[in-house]
Amino acid sequence: MTQILEIRDLKALAKRRVPKLFFDYADSGAWTEGTYRANEEDFAKIKLRQRVLVDMSNRSLETTMIGQKVSMPVALAPTGLTGMQHADGEMLAAQAAEVFGVPFTLSTMSICSIEDVASVTTKPFWFQLYVMREREFVLNLIDRAKAAKCSALVLTLDLQILGQRHKDLRNGLSAPPRMTPKHLWQMATRPGWCMKMLGTNRRTFRNIVGHAKSVTDLSSLGAWTTEQFDPQLSWKDVEWIKERWGGPLILKGILDPEDAKMAAKTGADAIIVSNHGGRQLDGAPSSISMLPRIVDAVGHQIEVHLDGGIRSGQDVLKAIALGAQGTFIGRPFLYGLGAMGKEGVTLALDIIRKEMDITMALCGKRSITDVSRDILTE
């Protein structure tokens, strides 16, 4: 491949460089993957208005997300196992995001720990929290994020139980991978990935191992993660988490206007319209199809962000036009990371920035803060 011009080019390269079980983890959804596909496909149904003979000079994509300045309305989404797409993946992605001027969100289920990422960054990053049954561990996670000076907490609401993802089950996904003949072959055919992984000691869930009481070694980790997601999580839990955290709070996983209204009452700073990348309830509507209804319901009360299906700068622009203040990208930066490491993450962000900038100009706008539904056709 001589030129990388779009996110799908990075995806193709990542597929050649990352072992199948980890590439499939990023590139899959629950059950039939219908919602996963709809997240992307529904963006294509939204059409843009072309405008001409307007001043296109001095354009700006700068805006804010939860009051924090960003170079464009994009944050790197929390993604599990990022450090299995590329050695030290979370650390590299966080560094790329910092230089680019966009937020990086570290997942609870990351390979590199909160402290690992804090050690290689100079600006605050965001931390995503899963609420586990072991409450002492959750409180400790919040305190660790505060100690690392994280500037926002992203509380995920839509993973009380784990949706079934056929590819992960068929691949026997784990971190580190089990040394079965199948897995050994998958890794042996990706020598570059193997060499980089041999150069790091970060190969398991470092936010958990050594911090959760019942996880004493790798053999106990798998059972812990499958049993620990709390099916009794409720709106009451948001209250004590918000109090313990004491900083900006974003609620992720809202897909219904009624839930959006409940979220707005919690006093959180923002919500993320999301279906977990199509990885939880297959058959649910796409994130972008629900965005206008949720913005209409609560956009005057709470900041609304969007996650799911974004593969281009045009997708970001469409989300902003429909009322989102910001967006989150997961797979695009994972493809970049798997393809080219930190340079690939920067390239993914740059591709999205250029697409958004040119499209905004061709729609007759010079500033992202002026973009509204009037750039869309009926």
Q: Which of 274, 252, 275 is nearest to 263 (CA)?
A: 252
Was 80 annotated as part of a binding site? yes
Was 310 annotated as part of a binding site? yes
Phi, psi of 209 (to 5 degrees): -60, 125
Was 279 annotated as part of a binding site? yes
What does the block give as tokens for 222? 């798998």
Was 78 annotated as part of a binding site? yes
Was 283 annotated as part of a binding site? no
Was 119 annotated as part of a binding site? no
Was 274 annotated as part of a binding site? yes
Report the C-alpha gap between 323 and 292 in whole angstroms: 7
Was 309 annotated as part of a binding site? yes
Was 246 annotated as part of a binding site? no
- Annotated active-site residue in 166, 183, 211, 276: 276
Q: Does residue 248 contact residue 125 with C-beta atoms inside 8 Å?
A: no
Query: What are the b/e assignments for 228-254, b being 16+ CB within 10 Å?
Result: bbbeebeeebbeebbeebebbbbbbbb
Q: Up-side HSE of residue 247: CA atoms within 13 Å toward CB?
A: 20
Was 79 annotated as part of a binding site? yes
Q: Does residue 235 contact residue 253 with C-beta atoms inside 8 Å?
A: no
Was 313 annotated as part of a binding site? no
Report the C-alpha gap between 138 and 140 in whole angstroms: 5
Containing H/E element for 328?
A: strand 326-329
276 is catalytic: yes
- Note the Cα 334 to chain centre separation in Å: 9
Q: Which of 76, 68, 236, 80 is nearest to 152 (CA)?
A: 68
Was 172 annotated as part of a binding site? no
Q: Does residue 324 contact residue 295 with C-beta atoms inside 8 Å?
A: yes
Was 256 annotated as part of a binding site? no
Was 110 annotated as part of a binding site? no
Query: What are the b/e assignments for 269-285, b being 16+ CB within 10 Å?
Result: bbbbbbbbbbbbebebb
Was 276 annotated as part of a binding site? yes
Q: Does residue 364 contact residue 36 with C-beta atoms inside 8 Å?
A: no
Was 308 annotated as part of a binding site? yes
Q: Please, what is the end-to-end C-alpha distance for the chain in angstroms?
A: 39
Was 335 annotated as part of a binding site? no
The SS3 of residue 39 is: helix
Report the C-alpha gap between 36 and 271 in whole angstroms: 20
Report the C-alpha gap between 136 and 329 in whole angstroms: 31
Was 36 annotated as part of a binding site? no
The annotation places the binding site for glyoxylate at: 25, 165, 276, 279
By annotation, the residues acting in catalysis are 276
The annotation places the binding site at: 25, 78-80, 107, 128, 130, 156, 165, 252, 274, 276, 279, 307-311, 330-331
The annotation places the binding site for FMN at: 78-80, 107, 128, 130, 156, 252, 274, 307-311, 330-331
